[in-house]
Structures are given as C-alpha cells and as structure tokens.
Amino acid sequence: MTENYRGCYEYLSAQYPEVGGYEFYKELFPDNENSGERHTDFSHPNAVYLYRDEQSEDKKLRRRKMYNDTWEQDYMEFVEGNSLTLCSGLAYRRKENRLENAQRMYALIFDLDGVGLAELRNLFLRFGGDPERVRRLPMPTFLVLSGTGLHIYYVFQQPIDLYPNIKIQLKSLKYDLTFRLWEYGSTSQVKAIQYQSINQSFRMVGSINDKHGTELVAFRTGERVTLDYLNAYAKPENRVDVNKPFSPSKMTRAEAREAYPEWYERVVVRGEKGRKKWDIAGKVHGDDPYALYHWWLRQIGEIKGGHRYFFLMCLAIYAYKCGVSKQQLRQ
C-alpha cells in the first residue's frame, strides 16, 4: 500500500460513505438487460466489462456483458478481487465495447494520477461553488481510489444519447475539464496531463490493482449531475449541446458525385462500404513511400515512461497505412 493511497483512504473514509462494487455498478447502470433478453432495435444497450481470466494459463482478458439479473453472481465471480477488470461509463450495442458501438453515456470519468493527501485536500477546496471563479471544479458523484491516484466519476441524472457529433462534443468537454482538474504541484504530483477518450475503461471498484496490491474503493462525494452543470465549468466552445443531436447531410447524390468523384465511384458505383486505405505513397514529398512510418520511428528517443505501448501501437498503425511489411515492422 502506497503512502498516497493510505492518506487518501483515511481522509475519504472519515467523511464520505464507502460504496461496494456490486452496488456501485447497479447504480451506475440501472437499466441493463436481463440475461436471455434480446432487443434487436437497440433499445437496451448494456455495459460491457473486461476481466482477467484467472483460470486460463495465459491469464487472458475476456469481454462480458453486464446483465441486471445475474450481476450479483457475476460480480463475485469475475470482478471482486480480480487483478485486472476494466469498465467504462458507457453502454453499448452488441458485445464489443468500441466507441462506434457506444449508445449511451451514464458517467463521464476522469483519471487523475499522482494524488496524495495534499492534492486531495486541494481538490476539495475547488470542488463545487461558482463555476465563474478561477480553478473551481464540478463536485463529483464518486471518487475511486485507483492505487496511483483517483478515478473521478460524474454520474448523469439521465444518460446521454451518443449521436455521432455528441461524441465529438463530449470529447471536447472531457479534454477541457481534464485540463482544469490536472494541475501539477496542486492537484497532481505528475507533470504530464493524460487526456483520454470518452470510451476509456477504468479498473473496476472491488478489483485489485495488481501493481500495488490495493483494492479499488469508491466513496460517494456528491449527487448525480446534469450536462448543464458540467458545461458551466467549461469554456463555451467546449460545451455540449444535446439539442443538436445529429445533422445529416443535405447534399443530393448528384451534388455528391460532382463534389467527391473518387468517393462516389468507390462507394456508390462499386459498392465498397469499407474505409478507404490511405494513399501515403502517393502523397509524400520525396521518394520515400514509407516517410510517415520512418518519421514516427525516429521519435523513439523522445518517448516518456508510460507511453511505450502507445508508441508501438502508432508504429503498427503507420506501418499498416504505409504498406510496411509485418516482417519489417517486427525487425
């Protein structure tokens, strides 16, 4: 157990009620499907979580839907005490927890690393109050001790429907509030701010952080929130407007053929619905068709601790987009 974890636990447990993992997710996702139900109209999206299969030899991560009627047993079997379980604040169509399948947001969640007792006290000095005042922050519904810091949960009174451009707006809102939450030397001991997707999954309450041997514990610190409440703490250009859920194109097919001839030929004429692969080789300046891949490879010396897997992921993406062979990538 780290000193940061111990100090934060003592501070929070003295002032706020602790919430167990089973109750935490029942409250977070109150309208999951029952097992055996099938709604083909996508009217009942489900929470999806990942858990480490402790029974398998490779300790593989497996994906599972969160069902309402079996959650108590599933929680005890797959989450409680598990060394790695992950869940976001979104509900999804189908079983894959991809952003493209995300249908509703039940909570906006932030990860704040490097939080000790001093940083936690500073946060509570800023939580709540007039959003027009400098450094004020919205009061969270829950704070969860992650092992290295805090997971900050803003649970909505009503879930937010995730139309395509609402996802984009929520990303801007999350980035804005992340910048406000994360202040090195005051609310965090870590200099580099970590901006994360609205689809980011977090270690689950009741599981164990295997890196530090600490349990993830949740405390109820506030009430459910509304988008208007969170918007008040963000810059006007980063606020979410749910009154404009989706604006379909008003361009006719004839106009699209004139404006986007390559797209029209590929999608409408040839019926290719998949995404078009980047033509990197045809757009580089110079005679190196792998220029983008080689540029990223040269950044290897600048990678900071904690970002190595991200670097490798981007390297693999650039290799695929540029047509670099798998053998060359492995070398």
Residues 52 and 59: their CA atoms lie apart, in Å, by: 6
| Res 278: pLDDT | 67
Query: In sequence order, which residues have a C-beta less than 8 Å from that of residue 66 and are 6 or more positions away?
Result: 25, 29, 32, 46, 47, 48, 49, 74, 87
Among 38-42, 61-65, 314-318, the minimum mean pLDDT is found in 38-42
**Share above pLDDT 70 across residues of the chain, in percent, rounded to a whole number:** 95
pTM of the predicted protein model: 0.77
Instruction: Give tens-digit pLDDT for 180-232.
Output: 999 999 999 999 999 999 999 999 999 999 888 999 999 999 999 999 999 99
**Share above pLDDT 90 across residues of the chain, in percent, rounded to a whole number:** 62
| Res 54: pLDDT | 79
Instruction: Give tens-digit pLDDT for 125-183.
Output: 999 989 999 889 999 999 999 998 999 999 999 999 999 999 999 999 999 999 999 99
Query: In sequence order, which residues have a C-beta less than 8 Å from that of residue 145 and are 6 or more positions away?
Result: 5, 8, 9, 12, 214, 216, 217
One-character DSSP codes across 225-268: B-HHHHHTTS-GGG---TT---------HHHHHHH-HHHIIIII
The domain limits of the chain are 3-238, 249-276, 279-331
